[in-house]
Amino acid sequence: MQHYIFTTKDIRNTLIKSATDDTIKFTVSTTSVEENNFKPKTEIRRMSEKAPLAVVIHWDDRIFEIEGRKLSFTTTKVHPSVLFSPTTERIWRWDGEAYLVDYRRGKWEVKTELGKKHAAAFTIQYSPLFRAEQPASMKIESFAEQDTLFFILMFIYSEFKRRDELESDSDSE
């Protein structure tokens, strides 16, 4: 199992390091509207490769770009059909695989389609009472390590959208 730590609270502008040996594995940076001709995007780069650009989230164009492959948000993630029941579950499709993603109590969990096998998890940053702040972290099971970049993209997108919805809800009150 791979275990990663996000070094800052802002998951769209951070370093992602190995929890086992503290080496930086990925950088995440987001350009603002002003910096990128009114088209914000988040770039995820590998630190150990010759061609480091790995993933781009084109927020306004609603496109994920994973190692050169462009996929629309709507074909990559879908809401399961659940009548009259609000749910945080999503189905994300990537490279012939489908993953069921759900958020509960500060943690995003990923299972293979139909919930057969746990694949990955992302725990948001939190501050326990009377203890040191815990950084956001991500764990990926060995059988799913080839999809690490996809999971990073999925967790950053999902957590950012969750936070955005929380802020929108609090603004409307």
pLDDT digits (tens, 9 = 90+) for 72-119: 998 888 877 655 555 678 899 988 888 999 999 899 999 987 677 999
- Band (pLDDT 50/70/90 cuts) for residue 26 is very high
Contact 78, 91 (CB under 8 A): yes
Rounded to an integer, the average pLDDT of 165-172 is: 73
- Band (pLDDT 50/70/90 cuts) for residue 2 is very high
Please calculate the CA angle 107-82-85 and round it to the nearest 5 degrees: 70
Tens digits of per-residue pLDDT, 111-155? 987 677 999 999 998 766 676 788 999 999 998 888 999 999 999
Q: What is the count of structural domains for the chain?
A: 1
In whole angstroms, give the CA distance from residue 107 to residue 161: 14
- Percent helix, strand and coil across the chain, each to the nearest 5: 20, 40, 40
Tens digits of per-residue pLDDT, 28-69? 999 876 665 668 899 999 887 666 678 999 998 999 998 888
Domain that holds residue 130: 2-171
Alpha-carbon 88 to chain mean position: 14
- Band (pLDDT 50/70/90 cuts) for residue 21 is very high
Element (DSSP H or E) covering residue 149: helix 148-171
In whole angstroms, give the CA distance from residue 116 to residue 99: 10
pTM for this prediction: 0.85
Between residues 58 and 173, the one the model is more confident about: 58
Rg over CA atoms, the chain: 16
Alpha-carbon 155 to chain mean position: 2
Can you read off the two tokens belonging to residue 99?
Answer: 């993953």
Contact 149, 49 (CB under 8 A): no
- DSSP designation for 67: T
